[in-house]
Amino acid sequence: MEQPFIPLDTLYRLPWTLPDNGITWLEPTYHCNLHCFGCYRRNIKDSDKPFEDVKHELDFYQSQRKTDCISIAGGEPLLYPHIVELVAEIKSRGLKPIVNTNGALLTKELLHELKKAGVFGFTFHIDSKQGKGRGPKWEGKDELELNELRLELAEMVAAEGGIACSFNATVYEDTLRYVPDLVEWAHKHIDIVNTMVFILFRYITPSLPFDFYAGDKKIQWDDILYHSEDEIPTDLMAPDVVNEIRKKYPDFAPAAYLNGTERADHYKWLLTERLGTKDKVFGYAGKKLLEMTESFYHLFKDRYLSYVSPGTLNLGRTTMFGTWFLDKGIKNALKNYLKYVAVNPLRMLKKVHLQSIMIIQPVDFMPNGDQSMCDGCPDATYWKDENGRERLVWSCRLEEQMQYGDFLRTVPKKKDKNNGEVETEIIINLDKKE
């Protein structure tokens, strides 16, 4: 039997579920100032939602789901005219507002306003396939050249103080090779960069062996927003990224994961926590630290933890001394730290930080047409269908609801005797069955 790439008994399964989760996703606008190649959302001008409607979505979330933070995404949330009020509204509800932005419109003044309104953190999406919207300075830059932009933003956030700073990037087959250098860059700036997120590229391409259906209607695959006429690889998996990172960091050890809805041994969200100073990584937290953190947080706050404040992440040394006897990974990190300070005791003056590295692997198609999504979808968002039914749906595939009023089903293409493709029949009609 094929063994999981990382034995599941060495990982903590994040306890996030549909009604009780660390994160919930809010899109106040579908308008964006960039045109990223891998984006899953149509860019719609004049699509800002009325503020009252956004507040209704927040009411709906709070009626359906315990959540620690609200990721304000889009579109580009900094284009939303009520962004400062929205951050204040989320904060006033006792939730952490996280702004998921490309950062192009962030100024020191706006940052200050958002801080006053209660912003908890930023996740900046920066990668090399974001088009020309950032202006000539960043046009054509590769992933590593974009570190200059990442650092500008991280320093701006750090100068304001007390705000969590994360970066995410979509990873394509041709940009996978940059990931270890990005992880190294994040290490160099472990004092001001709290999290790196790598999202694996998914798209619909001509060679996918499926037909697509909305209810009983067959959909032309090239009508679906996220498709490419060119054959581009769309099957990167989390272990590919881990293997790549291990070329530079052989000990790189994830500690927690979310499984797929169809595959228990898929790492849809794969979380690694490392401890280090700016010049040395001491080690990686194991599953117990993550389990303790989530369990205690839930016990006291009645919700699961997602984003952590920079102040807490700077407590790496306290974490090592306080939890080494409960977590093997931390024990190992503490040993390495003690050796490090034994060489030069002045090194004790350096702060030890925690830093998260997350790999997200969106939809995978199973050979029988089942679709494996992230179990408990942390990025679930609001959707009201044409019958007025409100619910939480996968934000990565909201476009299907907007375009077809349903999530698309995938049906394996039928082959004739000569292995040529023939039109599929509808095997199951979910609408009629209901």
Binding residues (CB under 6 A) for ligand SF4: these are 268, 360, 362, 373-374, 377-379, 394-396
- Cβ nearer to ligand SF4, comparing 22 with 276: 22
Q: Which two tokens stand for residue 226?
A: 């996220």
Q: Is residue 46 within 8 Å of residue 12, measured between CB atoms?
A: no
State the Cα–Cα distance between residues 13 and 24, nearest whole angstrom: 18
Sheet with 217-219, side-by-side order of all strands: 217-219, 210-214, 409-412
Minimum gap (Å) between residue 180 Cβ and ligand SF4: 23
Minimum gap (Å) between residue 374 Cβ and ligand SF4: 3
- Cβ nearer to ligand SF4, comparing 16 with 185: 16
DSSP class of 128:
T
| Amino acid at position 370, single letter | D
Q: Phi and psi of 339, rounded to 5°?
A: -65, -40
- Cβ nearer to ligand SF4, comparing 51 with 404: 404
Residues 6+ apart with CB under 8 A from 273: 255, 284, 285, 289, 290, 354, 355, 356, 357
Rg, C-alpha atoms of the chain: 22
- Cβ nearer to ligand SF4, comparing 184 with 370: 370
Minimum gap (Å) between residue 192 Cβ and ligand SF4: 26
State the Cα–Cα distance between residues 129 and 178, nearest whole angstrom: 13
Minimum gap (Å) between residue 250 Cβ and ligand SF4: 29
DSSP class of 345:
G
Q: Is residue 289 within 8 Å of residue 319, measured between CB atoms?
A: yes
Minimum gap (Å) between residue 403 Cβ and ligand SF4: 16
State the Cα–Cα distance between residues 411 and 427, nearest whole angstrom: 8
State the Cα–Cα distance between residues 427 and 61, nearest whole angstrom: 35
User: Between helices 83-92 and 108-117, what is the axis angle to 10°?
Assistant: 30
- Cβ nearer to ligand SF4, comparing 41 with 268: 268
Q: What is the DSSP string of 240-253?
A: HHHHHHHHH-TT--
- Cβ nearer to ligand SF4, comparing 12 with 394: 394
- Cβ nearer to ligand SF4, comparing 276 with 362: 362
Minimum gap (Å) between residue 21 Cβ and ligand SF4: 10
- Local structure of 173: helix, strand or coil: coil
- Cβ nearer to ligand SF4, comparing 167 with 185: 167
